[in-house]
Structure 1
Amino acid sequence: MTLLNVIIDDLTILTLNGTFEYLADPTFDNSNKSHKVQQSGGATFTIHGEGFNNVGEITVERVDKPCDVPTDNSAVCETPPKLKNQPDSQTIIVKFDGLILPVTIEYVDDPTFKKFEGLYEYDKESAIQIKVNVGNIKMYIGDLQYKVDVNILGITVVFLAAALVTTVVIGMLAVIVLKKKKKKAIKEFKMELITREEMIRKASREEFADAQMNIRDIKSDLVTARVPFLDYQTYILHLLFPNQDNILVHCLLEDMIRSSTKKQQKVLFRRFDSIVLRLMVNWLQIGLFRHLTSHSGMQLFMLYKAVQTITEMGPIDALTGSSKNTIAEEKLLKMRIEHQNLTLQIDLNGNSDQHYPVKVLDCDTISQVKQKCCAQIYKNKPASEIPHNDELYLEWQEGSAGKLTLNDIDNTSEKNNGLVCLNTLKHYMVNNNSKMALMYKPHVEEDVYVNSQGFRTESVTSEDISLLVADNGEGEVVEIQKWHLVY
């Protein structure tokens, strides 16, 4: 700290009362290297060190603008233009008040610029001139015309609104079309339902009328021929030994009595029920014989014939016993079977004097046709007087190849995956009102028919569901599987 005396013209001495403080000179970073700048000058370079704020002004020779001091550790200065006829590497002087810092500058050629070839447009209102300043270089390169400002936001909003409206309209049209289609489908479904209901009503009325006619025929037959009741002895025999003939019953009783011991004789007639229960059931059935023959037998027989008639009016599977018209759900034929009603003119045993009209279905097997023929010809006859299917054969007298014997299985039967389909009237292409003969089988068959060579024919009933057999020509029995309506 010291006082400052100011002497003016050696005559006037001015002593300032203020005090002055001397600060340390700035120091410089030795890492300052040479800088490459354009020859026109005006480029900036940075000097690093300490104490730059202690200096009043930092200047560069031949540069009017003083250096900027952003911090105490750095100063940003401009370069002067290159001296003519001097080498590219020159030393310039940077003055920190009375302190001088030499800085090496490496001058390079000034950059060049290409002017615009035309008028460039941009999104503003008026044209402007484009000038480029690089250091002390100021270059005019052309004009810039701003184009009309487009309201992108407005266009986007309009576009989105139009897309939204279009989507809404398309959606509404789609909903309207779907509703119309739905209404049309519902209307068509209702019409189809009404049509099917009408068809069902018509078929029901026709079947009901046919059933009424059949029941009327049954009543008229019963009035004349009466119900075929069994005699008391046969009734008791069938009650105690169902599905057995007399010879077999006597043989069975003799064998059972002969082979049984005293302990086994107590359970001789016992099945799965208790003795008391079996005695009660047999006593009731025996006691009802007179009541059946005199009162309720007629009604029960009518009920049986009515159920049989209604059942046989629809398709029945010959192997499983499933029927389209049944009162038992487990025996309901759930498949839709296309069928037609046929009426056959049956000649019994070749006697052409009398023909029996028999109503059948074209999906009936030959055994079913023979059963219906026997039911019509031998109606109201005892079961013992009705011949069995195995005792009869059906002959088509108007076949395309002449007389043709129809069988459930022959060499024309349809085979698929090892299964054989039972022959039906549709298989033989039998027409309505065809003439056929129901013949008793002779003991020795000498006639050879077109469809019976090399194959043993068989008859199938609904009770015979097991695998049936065919002859392979060598006397050996080969098991084959069969199907009728249900595959």
Structure 2
Amino acid sequence: ALRLFGQLLNNKTFLLTFIHTLESQRSFSMRDRGNVASLTMVALQGRMEYATVLLKQLLSDLIEKNLESKNHPKLLLRRTESVAEKMLTNWFTFLLYKFLKECAGEPLFMLFCAIKQQMEKGPIDAITGEARYSLSEDKLIRQQIDYKMLTLSCVCPDSENGTEIPVKVLNCDTITQTKDKLLDAVYKGIPHTQRPKAEDMDLGELEKSI
């Protein structure tokens, strides 16, 4: 059955009808739309030309539907509520992967690290994500909070020589936030996928030899 369904996915008429039929169902939730879009693009990632033709047709149908309902053109592609819009996101992800990996990835990561470092100079609400030095006014901590900067000495558990690394934290940081800052310092330059998670690590006191 799966083999036959896989063959049907290569039929443009069937796939367009299949997606339109699903979207016409009231029980077809937003999560379902995202799952269908992602799984469809995964199934077609080996045939990006066909996927592009299919996506162009879905977007054309979406634009026509938007015009018929007399919605404002600016609302198109803003809410990403349709399968076509979610497929478009995945389409960009596939096609931009090489560019991000070879060209834009490093500058974007450096920008992320710089913003993260700036935000961590002040308090960050561990629950809401609001920060004293947030770039967004919607996520800005407006009330005055008294805090002090502390310098902790951290030793990598995998280090043989036990070299201490100074790490700056705030006295209002949560334990998890403190762990994250320590891990950022200890595992600097190591891919995030190869780093231990904060919840898997425990904080301990260094024993000073006299």
Distance (Å, rounded) in 1 between the aligned partners of 2:111 and 2:143: 27
The code of the aligned residue for 2:135 comes to: I
Q: After the TM superposition, which residues 336-415 of structure 1 pair with which residues of structure 2 at under 5 Å, given as runs?
A: 336-349=144-157, 353-397=162-206
Any residues of structure 2 matched to 1:149-228 within 5 Å, and which? Answer: none
Structure 1 residues 379, 336: closer, same or farther in 2, change over 3 A?
same
Instruction: Give the C-alpha shift of residue 328 in structure 1.
Output: 1.1
Partner of 1:269: 36
For residues 297 and 367 of structure 1, what CA distance do their matches in structure 2 show? Answer: 27
Over the aligned positions, Cα root-mean-square deviation in angstroms equals 2.9
- CA offsets 1:231-252 (integer angstroms, 9 cap, x no match): xxxxxxxxxxxxxxxxxxxxxx
Q: Give the Cα separation in 2 of the matches to 1:388 and 1:327.
A: 26
* 1:243-281 Cα distance to aligned partner (Å, 9 max, x none): xxxxxxxxxxx9xx9xxxx99x74561496323222222
2:70 corresponds to: none
The residue type paired with residue 312 of structure 1 is E
Indicate how the Cα distance of structure 1 residues 350 and 275 shifts in structure 2: closer, same or farther if over 3 A, else same: closer
Deviations 1:272-294 (A, max 9, x none): 63232222221112111111122
Any idea what the Cα deviations from partners look like across 1:124-165, whole Å, max 9, x if unmatched?
xxxxxxxxxxxxxxxxxxxxxxxxxxxxxxxxxxxxxxxxxx
What TM-score, normalized by structure 1, do the two folds share?
0.26
Q: CA deviation at 1:394?
A: 0.3
Equivalent of 1:308 in 111, 116, 132: 116
Write the deviation string for residues 71-92 of structure 1: whole angstroms up to 9, x where unpaired. Answer: xxxxxxxxxxxxxxxxxxxxxx
CA contact (8 A) 2:156 2:162 kept: no
Would you say the 8 A contact 2:37–2:84 is kept in 1?
no
Is the Cα–Cα contact under 8 Å of residues 154 and 164 in structure 2 kept in the other structure?
A: yes
- The residue matched to 1:306 in structure 2 has which SS? helix
CA–CA distance in structure 1, aligned partners of residues 158 and 185 of structure 2: 17
Any residues of structure 2 matched to 1:59-70 within 5 Å, and which?
A: none
- Cα offset, 1:381, TM superposition: 2.1
Structure 1: which amino acid aligns with 2:178?
V
Q: Distance in 2 between matches of 1:344 and 1:299?
A: 29
Amino acid at match of 1:269: V
Measure how far apart 1:350 and its partner are: 8.3
2:137: which partner in 1?
Answer: 329
* CA offset digits 1:97-130 (Å, max 9, x no partner): xxxxxxxxxxxxxxxxxxxxxxxxxxxxxxxxxx
> 2: CA distance between counterparts of 1:289 and 1:354?
38
Distance 1:350 1:380, change over 3 A: closer
Aligned to 2:61: none
* AA in 2 matched with 1:387: P
Higher strand proportion, which one?
1
Query: Is 2:150–2:170's contact at 8 Å kept on the other side of the alignment?
Result: yes
Kindly provide the amino acid, as one letter, of the partner of residue 287 in structure 1. Answer: L
2:154·2:167 contact (CA, 8 Å) conserved in 1?
A: yes
Q: Deviations over 1:317-346 (max 9, x none)?
A: 222211100011121111211112111111
Mapping of residues 469-484 of structure 1, within 5 Å: none
Q: Aligned pairs, how many?
A: 140
Cα offset, 1:379, TM superposition: 1.8
How far is 1:303 from its partner? 1.0
Q: Give the corresponding residue for 1:279.
A: 87
CA displacement at 1:353 relative to structure 2: 2.1
Deviations 1:326-371 (A, max 9, x none): 0111211112111121111112238562111111111111111100
Show the counterpart of 1:319: 127
Using the alignment, how far apart are the partners of 1:397 and 1:377 within structure 2? 15
Output the CA distance in 2 between the equivalents of 1:344 and 1:350. Answer: 18
Higher relative contact order (Cα pairs below 8 Å, separated by 6+ residues): 2
2:60 counterpart of 1:293: no
